[in-house]
Amino acid sequence: MRTPSVHDRRRGDIAIAMTPMIDVVFLLLVFFLWTASFRIVEYVLPSQVTALAGTSDEARSDDPPPELDFDEIVIRILWTGDGPAWSVNDAPVASLGEVRDYLSRIASVKTDAPVILDPDPQVPLGDVIDVYDAARLERFEKVHFAASEGV
């Protein structure tokens, strides 16, 4: 008597039933949808609470201005003839040091806000790179350059 071998069998049509496989996929999909959490993630903002908080009439000097839009930070660099002039979200800033301070205050709250640099064509490249470096040193994730509409 001869022992049956796997290699001697003739290959027949193999039929794979797809219906049970599709059922399993849908059951897994339903399971993961039921177990998923659809809550909105709350971001924890660093803050300092003191006993005198809210009792003072004047704003603290190290806080970013309340009108600042954190959706995007637009830094405009203008050339005045004798040197660069900066404005952050249309608020004039006196020096590059103040731009850095402004960016560091914003970075302490939110570093994923995009920083958009909008230099005038007359501004030397070195001054633009200084502002770019200041934004990257404050660990902003997105630093972009504004483009004119003709581009």
Give the domains, in start order, of the chain with CATH numbers.
73-145 (3.30.420.270)
Give yes or no for a contact between 133 and 101, defined as CB atoms under 8 angstroms apart: no
pLDDT at 27: 93
Closest CA relative to residue 134, chosen from 88, 90, 81: 88
E strand segments, the chain: 73-79, 84-88, 91-93, 115-119, 143-145
What are the pLDDT tens digits along the chain (151 aa)?
666 666 656 666 677 788 889 999 999 999 888 887 666 655 655 555 555 545 555 555 555 554 444 678 888 998 887 888 998 888 888 888 998 998 888 888 877 888 888 888 888 888 888 989 988 888 888 888 887 665 5
Could you give the angle at the alpha carbon of 130 between the alpha carbons of 117 and 63, nearest 5°? 70
Q: How far apart are CA 8 and CA 14, in angstroms?
A: 17
Q: How far apart are CA 69 and CA 120, in angstroms?
A: 22
pLDDT at 67: 44
Closest CA relative to residue 96, chosen from 109, 105, 83, 107: 83
122-138 as b/e: b if 16+ CB within 10 A: ebeeebbeebbebbeeb
Look up residue 58 and give its two tokens.
């004047």
